[in-house]
């Protein structure tokens, strides 16, 4: 996979995922740090023209740098569960837009989440667009790919993970939930929300308290609000 843009490439270098680098100008101030990181890791750096970089990225705004990444090693649900004594996991139900996927990954990484559970079908793939939308956060996160999310929630619950589905129709608020225990936050797609079987498998369903005239938020924003409520509870005092 090839990715482009300063933030995504820098984070990929920090994560040790870059196998080769193509840049516009080694002397460019904004690229010098990227070149330095690549040279420290003995990553081959090729200097190309603007047009050549444009062709490599199909005209995307590459900011003068393109990186080739090695494959992302997928984790198991057990890996996520055992990542810490108090794991915080995000499970995605039908998130198909790569920009939403990337934005959710960015806020999940910022909140210290153990990783993301994603479906193999009807879900945004791990793509260059998703990595860029995540500002590179996706390369730092564990990803677990599952065929059946409802079954995966059952596996989480058997491992002692409390599952909380974000559901705009719930009578409970996220502020009613005790996040000071191993928790998986389950996020549905915009428009459809959580599918019925996934919703039924959740231990709790909770809504964000909406005070204005709109009745819902973008999936990544809603995920961020819930994640940082969990962070607030876990770090309070």
List, for residues 121-162, the tens digit of each pLDDT value: 888 888 888 998 998 899 999 999 999 999 999 999 999 999
Last residue of a domain, one of 69, 94, 121: 69
Both 61 and 81 in one domain: the answer is: no
Question: What CATH number did the domain enclosing 206 receive?
Answer: 3.40.1280.10
Structure confidence at residue 237 (pLDDT): 54
Whether residue 205 is predicted with pLDDT greater than 90 in this model: the reply is: yes
**Burial of 45 by CB count in 10 Å (0-12 exposed, 13-18 middle, 19+ buried)?**
middle
Whether residue 101 is predicted with pLDDT greater than 60 in this model: the reply is: yes
Structure confidence at residue 172 (pLDDT): 93
CB 4 within 8 A of CB 128: yes
Q: 29 falls in which pLDDT band (50, 70, 90)?
A: low
Both 85 and 149 in one domain: the answer is: yes
Both 41 and 89 in one domain: the answer is: no
**pLDDT tens, residue by residue, 41-89:** 999 998 888 888 878 877 677 888 899 988 888 999 999 999 989 999 9
Averaged pLDDT, 1-17: 88
Report the domain count for the chain.
Answer: 2
Question: What CATH number did the domain enclosing 27 receive?
Answer: 3.30.1330.30
Both 25 and 56 in one domain: the answer is: yes
Q: Please name the residue that has the structure tokens 């909406």.
A: 210
Beta strands at 65-69 and 18-23: parallel, antiparallel or unpaired? antiparallel
User: Cβ contacts of residue 176 below 8 Å, gap of 6+?
Assistant: 206
Both 48 and 139 in one domain: the answer is: no
Both 52 and 86 in one domain: the answer is: no
| Phi and psi angles of residue 180, each rounded to the nearest 5 degrees, phi first | -85, 40
Q: What is the largest CA-CA distance in the chain?
A: 58
Both 45 and 83 in one domain: the answer is: no
Averaged pLDDT, 174-188: 96
Last residue of a domain, one of 35, 69, 103: 69
Q: Please state, as a whole number, how many other Cβ atoms lie within 10 Å of the Cβ of residue 143.
A: 17
Structure confidence at residue 223 (pLDDT): 96
Both 54 and 96 in one domain: the answer is: no
Q: Which of 220, 56, 229, 77 is CA-nearest to residue 159?
A: 77
**Burial of 40 by CB count in 10 Å (0-12 exposed, 13-18 middle, 19+ buried)?**
exposed
Q: Please state, as a whole number, how many other Cβ atoms lie within 10 Å of the Cβ of residue 65.
A: 26
Structure confidence at residue 143 (pLDDT): 96
33/25: higher pLDDT: 33
Both 141 and 85 in one domain: the answer is: yes
Both 201 and 158 in one domain: the answer is: yes
Both 189 and 218 in one domain: the answer is: yes
Both 142 and 214 in one domain: the answer is: yes
Percent of all residues in the chain with a pLDDT value above 90, rounded to a whole number: 60
SS3 assignment, position 52: helix
Q: 235 falls in which pLDDT band (50, 70, 90)?
A: very high
Averaged pLDDT, 177-185: 97
Q: Please state, as a whole number, how many other Cβ atoms lie within 10 Å of the Cβ of residue 63.
A: 19
CB 22 within 8 A of CB 81: no
Domain that holds residue 169: 77-235
* Rounded CA Rg of the chain: 19
What does the alpha-carbon distance between residue 14 and residue 11 come to, in Å, rounded to a whole number? 5
184/53: higher pLDDT: 184
Averaged pLDDT, 7-36: 84
């Amino acid at each position: 996979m090839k990715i482009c843009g300063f933030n995504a490439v820098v984070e990929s270098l920090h994560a040790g995922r870059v196998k080769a680098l193509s840049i516009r100008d080694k002397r460019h101030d904004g690229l010098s740090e990227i070149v330095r990181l690549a040279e420290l890791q003995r990553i081959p750096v090729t200097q190309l023209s603007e047009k050549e970089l444009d062709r490599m990225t199909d005209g995307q705004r590459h900011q003068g740098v393109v990186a080739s990444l090695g494959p992302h090693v997928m984790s198991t649900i057990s890996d996520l569960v055992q990542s810490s004594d108090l794991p915080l996991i995000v499970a995605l139900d039908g998130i198909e837009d790569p920009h939403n996927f990337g934005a959710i990954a960015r806020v999940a990484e910022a909140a210290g989440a153990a990783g993301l559970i994603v479906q193999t079908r009807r879900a945004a793939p791990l793509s260059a667009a998703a990595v860029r939308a995540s500002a590179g956060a996706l390369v730092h996160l564990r990803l677990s790919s599952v065929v059946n999310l409802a079954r995966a929630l059952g596996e989480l619950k058997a491992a002692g993970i409390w599952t909380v589905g974000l559901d705009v129709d719930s009578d409970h608020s996220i502020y009613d939930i005790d996040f000071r225990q191993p928790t998986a936050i389950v996020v549905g797609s915009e428009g459809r929300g959580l599918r019925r079987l996934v919703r039924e498998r959740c231990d709790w369903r909770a809504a964000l308290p909406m005070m204005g005239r709109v009745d819902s938020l973008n999936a990544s924003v809603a995920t961020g609000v819930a994640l940082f409520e969990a962070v607030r509870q876990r770090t309070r005092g």
